[in-house]
Structure 1
Amino acid sequence: MSQLISTFQNQQGQFWQALLEHIQISLISIFIAILISIPLALLLRRFPKIAEPILQVTGIFQTIPSLALLGLLIPFIGIGSLPAIVALVVYAIFPIVQNTYTGLEQIEPSLIEAATAFGMNRRERLMKFELSLAMPFIMAGIRTSTVMVIGTATLAALIGAGGLGNFILLGINMNDVSLILIGAISSALLAIIFSSLLKFLEKAKIRTILISFFIGLLVLGGSYYRPQTSDHPQITIAGKLGAEPDVLINMYKLLIEKDSNIRVNLKSNFGDTTFLYNALKAGKIDIYPEYTGTITSTFLKDPVNSTDPAVVWQKAEEGIKKLNQFTYLSPMKFQDTYALAVKSDFAKEHQLTKISDLPNVSGLTAGFDVEFANRSDGNIGLKKLYGLDLNVKTMQSSLIYNALNSGAVNVAEVYSTDSQIKQYNLTVLKDDKNLFPPYQAAPLMKESLLKKYPELKKILNKLSGKITDQEMIEMNYDVNVKQEDASKVAERYLKAKGLI
C-alpha cells in the first residue's frame, strides 16, 4: 500500500491529465451515442417490422473485440481520440437503443388510446407522458453504456488517445504493479461514480434530467478550453512508453525553450512505435525520439545488414528522408540495443564477461520474449554466430527480469540501458562478435518543420554523441526505481554537462 501511495504521489501531474482525458473521451462518446440511439429507438417504434433486425445489428457490434475494432478504424481515421470515440460510440449504442425501445413498448396501449381520445397527436403523447414513463428504462440503458464505455476507454491509450489506460500500459511495460493498479482502480471508481449519478437520475423528472445533461455538456465543453498564455510558436514532442523516451523528450523541451522562443507541449508515454510514426505523418505531433535500428528494420524496405553505428544511422537518415520526407538528426552515444545479461554472482562464478564465454557453461536456461527467440539477430543468430544451444523459455518481456532474479532462468534478453540492470545488479555480457544491431536515439521530424524552425537542428544536435550507456541506465533507474520526475532527471543531466 505504501508503494502504491508513493507511486501515486510521484505521478500526480500525469494522473490528473490522464483522468481528464478519460472523462472527456467517455462523456463525448456517451453524448453522441444518446443523440443517435434515442431517435433511432423512436424510429423503430414507428416501424416495428425493422426493429428486430436493427436491434440484432447493433447487438452484433458489441461482439466485435474492442481491440480489433480500434485496429480496423486506424487505416480510415488514423490514431488519437477520434477512432477511440467512434469505437466507444459503437459499443454504447445497443444498450440505449434496446432499453429505450423496450421502455416505450411497455407503455399500456390503453394510456395511448386515452391520450388520443383527448386529442393528443403523436408528438404531444411522446413529450407529455410516453418519455416520462419510459425514462427509467432509458436511463438504465444510458447507465449500462456509461459503465461499459468508461471501462473500455482504457484501451484508448493503445492508439495515442490518452486516458487512464496509459498507467496500465506503462505499468505492464515497466512491470510495475502500482501503476497498473492506479489505472485500473481509478477507472473502476470513475465508473462507479457515474453509475451512481445516473441511477439517482432514473427517478427524476425529464426536466431535471435534461438540465443535468445540459450542465454536463457545458462542463465537458469547458474542459477543452485552454487560455492563450503566450504568442510564442508551439510544437508538440511525444515519446514512447517508458522512462527513457520520457527523459529524452524532456531534454528536447528544456534545450528548445532555452535557446529559442518556441514553446513545447509534451506527450509522454504516447504509445508504441507504430502510433508515434503515424502520428508524426499525420501532423498530430512534430518530433519524437526514434532509434536507428528501428528505422532500418521496421520502416525501410531494405534493412541494412551492418553493426557499424555510423553506417546504420546514415542508412536510416537517407532512407527515412526518401520514404517520408522526414529529417533524422544526429544520434546520441548510448545504444538501447539487445543484450544478454546474467546475475553478477553467476557471472563471477563462471567467469563470464562476454557472450562467447557462455558455451563454456552447460545446462543454461534463457528467458527470451517470442520475437527475440525467432529473430535472426536474436536467438537464431546466437546459435549461428556463437554456437549457443540454450534451453529457451519464452515469456512476456516484462516478466524476464523477475525470472532472472528468481533463478528461473540463468540468461536473459535485456535492453542495454534498462534500469533493471542496476536494480538487480546484473552483468551485461559484451557482444564480442557484433550480433546485435545498433539502436541509437535521435530526433525524428518532418522536413517542413525544420524549414519552418531551422534553429531546431543546432539546438537538438547539442545532444549528438552525448549520454553513455551507463548514464542512460542511471537516469532510467532514477525514474523507474527512485520514482523521480523525468523532467528533473533530464534537467539535472543537462546542467551537469553545461548544456543549460
Structure 2
Amino acid sequence: MTTPRPTQAISRRALLLGGTAAAALTGCGLGTGGGFTRSGTLSGAISGIDLDGLEAAVGSKNFSEQVLVGKMAVILLKSAGADVQDLTNIPGSASSRQAMLQGEIQVMWEYTGTAWIAYLGETDPIPDEQEQYEAVRQRDLEENDLVWLSPAPMNNTYGFATPRAKAEELGVEALSDLQDLDSGELSFCVESEFNNRNDGMDPMLQTYDLQRGREVPEDQVKVLDTGAIYEATDQGLCNFGEIFTTDGRIKALDLVVLEDDREFFPKYNLCPVVTSTVIEEFPQIRDLFAPVSEALTDDVLIELNARIDVEGEEPGDVAWEWLTGEGLVSEAEAG
C-alpha cells in the first residue's frame, strides 16, 4: 500500500523544475510503472466512438488518484481502438509536465490549480471554478498547444477535517464556525509546508477572523508529516487536521470536511489534457472523456481512492470496475 499524499503535496505545490525533471526524461526514459491495463468495448453514452489509427501515450503522476484516472484514460482509449502506451505513475508533477511539453505523452489528467500556479507562474488563484478553468484552458492552449477538455466537478484542494463526533459536539460545519469556539478547542494538525506558506495556515486563519497567538495558541498548532495528520486527527491529537479533500482516508476514518465558505483555498478541478495535434485529428476524444469527467465528484473519488489507499486494491482494477459499473465499458466479446 502506498502513501501518496506527501508526494502529492510536493509535486503539486513545491515543484522543482530543472535538473530532477531533466534527469527523469533522459537516459533510460520516463521512470514509470504503468503495468498491464485491461480493455473492452465502449458502451452506453460513448458507444461507437472509434479511435482506430490513434497512437498516444497516457501519463499520470505517481499518487493514487492520478494513477487511477490515468488508468481510466488508458482503458477508454484502448477500448476505442487506439494504440496506447501506458506511462502512468511518472515521478512528480515536474517530470509529467515536461513529458507532455516535450511530446513524450499526449494525454493526461491535470488539475486547474496546479497548472495556474505551478506551471503558468501565477500567484493568485481565481476563486470561481469555471473562471479558473477557462483561464487555464486559454493560457495553456496559447502558450503550449495543450487542450483542456471539460472539467470534473471534483476539487482536490486543501481543507480541514474533524472526526464526526467532534463536529457534532462543537456544532461546526464550515470554517467560519471556528470563530465561535473557545480558544481551547482551536487545535490544529498541519504539515510543515502549509504551516509556512504565505497562502497557508496564518492567512487561512486571518480569512476566518482568527489569529495565531491570540485566538489560536501557538502550542495548539501541531506540525506533522502529511501522512500522519489523518490518524492524529482521528485519535484526538488535534480537533482539526489539514487534509486533501478527495483523500480516501476521509471516508475510512469518518472525518467531516469543513466547508471553505469564504473560498480561501485554490480550486483543483481535474481535467483531461490532450495535445492539440491529437485533438485536431481525433476530435471525438472530447466525447469519450466527457461523461467520465462529469461523473467524477468528490464523493466518487473519495470512495475510489479509499479502495486503493485503505483497502489495497490496484488502481487499474478499480478504474476498470468503476468504468464497467458506470456502463461506459463492457467486456470485449469473444471472437
TM-score above 0.5: yes
Name the SS for the 1:464 alignment partner: helix
Contact 1:292 1:439 in 2 (8 A): yes
Find out whether 1:240 has 2:61 as its counterpart.
yes
What is the aligned-residue identity percentage? 27
Deviation track 1:51-98 (CA, whole Å, cap 9, x = no partner) reads: xxxxxxxxxxxxxxxxxxx987457x552351xx7xxxxxxxxxxxxx
Q: 2:309 corresponds to which residue?
A: 480
Aligned partners of 1:312, 1:71: CA distance in 2, in Å?
Answer: 23
Name the SS for the 2:85 alignment partner: strand
Higher fraction of strand: 2
Contact 1:235 1:262 in 2 (8 A): yes
Q: 2:7 corresponds to which residue?
A: none
TM-score normalised to structure 1 length: 0.54
The amino acid of 2:55's aligned partner reads Q
Quick one: which of 24, 48, 54 aligns to 1:79?
24
Name the SS for the 1:465 alignment partner: helix
Q: Tell me how far 1:267 sits from its aligned partner.
A: 2.5
Find out whether 1:310 has 2:130 as its counterpart.
yes
Quick one: which of 375, 378, 385 aligns to 2:200?
378
Q: Tell me how far 1:499 sits from its aligned partner.
A: 2.1
Find out whether 1:438 has 2:267 as its counterpart.
yes
Q: Which structure ranks higher in relative contact order (CA pairs < 8 Å, sequence separation ≥ 6)?
A: 2
Find out whether 1:300 has 2:120 as its counterpart.
yes
Find out whether 1:265 has 2:85 as its counterpart.
yes
TM-score normalised to structure 2 length: 0.78
Larger displacement relative to structure 2 (298-307 or 379-388): 298-307
Find out whether 1:407 has 2:236 as its counterpart.
yes
Q: 2:300 corresponds to which residue?
A: 471
Q: 2:172 corresponds to which residue?
A: 352
Q: Tell me how far 1:266 sits from its aligned partner.
A: 1.9
Aligned partners of 1:472, 1:448: CA distance in 2, in Å?
Answer: 30
Aligned pair in 2 of structure 1 residues 305, 285: CA closer, same or farther (>3 Å)?
Answer: closer
Give the total of aligned pairs: 289
Aligned pair in 2 of structure 1 residues 303, 327: CA closer, same or farther (>3 Å)?
Answer: farther
Deviation track 1:103-153 (CA, whole Å, cap 9, x = no partner) reads: xxxxxxxxxxxxxxxxxxxxxxxxxxxxxxxxxxxxxxxxxxxxxxxxxxx
Flag structure 1 segments of 5+ consecutive residues without an equivalent: 1-6, 9-69, 86-158, 164-230
Q: 2:252 corresponds to which residue?
A: 423
Aligned partners of 1:456, 1:238: CA distance in 2, in Å?
Answer: 16
Aligned partners of 2:194, 2:205: CA distance in 1, in Å?
Answer: 13
Q: Tell me how far 1:429 sits from its aligned partner.
A: 0.7
Find out whether 1:278 has 2:114 as its counterpart.
no
Aligned partners of 2:239, 2:113: CA distance in 1, in Å?
Answer: 27
Q: 1:166 corresponds to which residue?
A: none
Name the SS for the 2:222 alignment partner: strand
State the 4+ residue runs in structure 1 displaced beyond 4 angstroms: 70-75
Higher fraction of helix: 1
The amino acid of 2:287's aligned partner reads K
Name the SS for the 2:262 alignment partner: coil
Quick one: which of 59, 73, 76 aligns to 1:255?
76
Contact 2:117 2:125 in 1 (8 A): no
Aligned partners of 2:192, 2:183: CA distance in 1, in Å?
Answer: 23
Q: 1:341 corresponds to which residue?
A: 161
The amino acid of 2:232's aligned partner reads A
Flag structure 2 segments of 5+ consecutive residues without an equivalent: 3-15, 34-51, 330-335
- Higher Cα Rg, which structure: 1
